[in-house]
Amino acid sequence: MRLLVTGAGGMLGSDVVRAGDQVTALSRAELDITDEGAVDHAVRAARPDAVVNCAAYTDVDGAEAETDAAMRVNAAGALNVAEAAASVDALVVYPSTDYVFDGSKRAPYVESDPVSPRSAYGRSKLEGELATATVDGHLIVRTAWLFGTGGRNFVEAMLAAASRGPVRVVCDQVGCPTYTRHLAAAILTLVEAKVTGIVHAAGAGECSWHDFARAIFERANVDAELSPCTTGEFPRPAPRPAYSVLRSERADVPALPRWERGLDEYLAERVVA
């Protein structure tokens, strides 16, 4: 299975590259997906069986002020990648987000639930989903709360914060922390099985950000002064869904390990690295 991975230098992209075999890995510096001609040339040169589009604008708060920039990458760029993949009969994979949901549900979101993003970032990713879905061979993988050794993440933010003093973390946002190595393996399984359409793939279980922080400190043996706060007490530019747990209603989607296992594996990996 020949893969082309865009955004290959990022957190998810680097793990997809590691999980693959015959991989053409293109970082943001090597391929700007908003450049239609460059994308078409790169895809035609690689002749992949699948293109995994990990290139993305991921600054959730920044997207509120830079909505056009987020749309250029997450939507227009996604269309460039999808159309280039289709031109060589390759499957295109678009990782998306739990932020396409508004968070008003109190049971896990499944693929058939209606979308209603609250943030500019969420809207840009939904537009990317719609753009990707304009070609026949597409796979949209919604996931959540990513952490991995290939980039900045919540685990490292918490460990750094604990070294500076008391830590306050919101307790009224609930979701699914997802280890990127587990997600990358699931994506490869889906690609090899030629699964198409929309799927949900996130760490099993659920927790709040506060629960996640507590687990990080406990498992990393860090003595931190941790206290909960509400979203209202910790305002951010972009609204977040209060509940965005993802589960799949599809029988052809592999279940990911629990988020606690992902955290343990991550902490072990970062020590080795």
Query: Who's near 272: CB < 8 A, 6+ residues apart?
Result: none
pLDDT digits (tens, 9 = 90+) for 109-145: 999 999 999 999 999 999 999 999 999 999 999 999 9
Per residue, what are the HEC states of 110-173? CCCCCCCCCCHHHHHHHHHHHHHCCCCCEEEEEECCEECCCCCCHHHHHHHHHCCCCEEEECCC
At residue 179, what are phi and psi to the nearest 5 degrees?
Answer: -75, 125
pLDDT at 272: 63
Quick one: average pLDDT of 45-65?
A: 98
pTM recorded for the entire structure: 0.97
Place of tokens 């026949």: 136
Q: Is 109 a catalytic residue?
A: no
Quick one: average pLDDT of 94-108?
A: 97
pLDDT digits (tens, 9 = 90+) for 141-172: 999 999 999 999 999 999 999 999 999 999 99
What is the residue extent of each domain of the chain? 2-210+232-272
At residue 266, what are phi and psi to the nearest 5 degrees?
Answer: -65, -45
Percent of the chain with pLDDT over 90: 97
pLDDT digits (tens, 9 = 90+) for 80-99: 999 999 999 999 999 999 99
pLDDT at 273: 57
Give the C-alpha distances (Å, rounded to integers) separating 239 from 232, 236, 242: 10, 7, 9
- Could you give the dihedral angle defined by the CA atoms of residues 109, 148, 188 and 137, in that order, rounded to the nearest 10 degrees? 60
pLDDT at 134: 98
- Annotated catalytic residue, options 109, 121, 243, 266: 121
**Helix, strand and coil in the chain, % to nearest 5:** 40, 20, 40
Of 211, 71, 185, 75, the residue nearest 132 (C-alpha): 75
- Could you give the dihedral angle defined by the CA atoms of residues 169, 170, 171 and 176, in that order, rounded to the nearest 10 degrees? -90
pLDDT at 270: 87
Cα–Cα distance between 63 and 250 in angstroms, integer?
31
Cα–Cα distance between 16 and 40 in angstroms, integer?
21
Question: CATH top-level class for 2-210+232-272?
Answer: alpha beta
Q: Is residue 236's pLDDT more than 70?
A: yes
Q: Is residue 243's pLDDT more than 90?
A: yes
Across the chain, what does the average pLDDT equal? 97
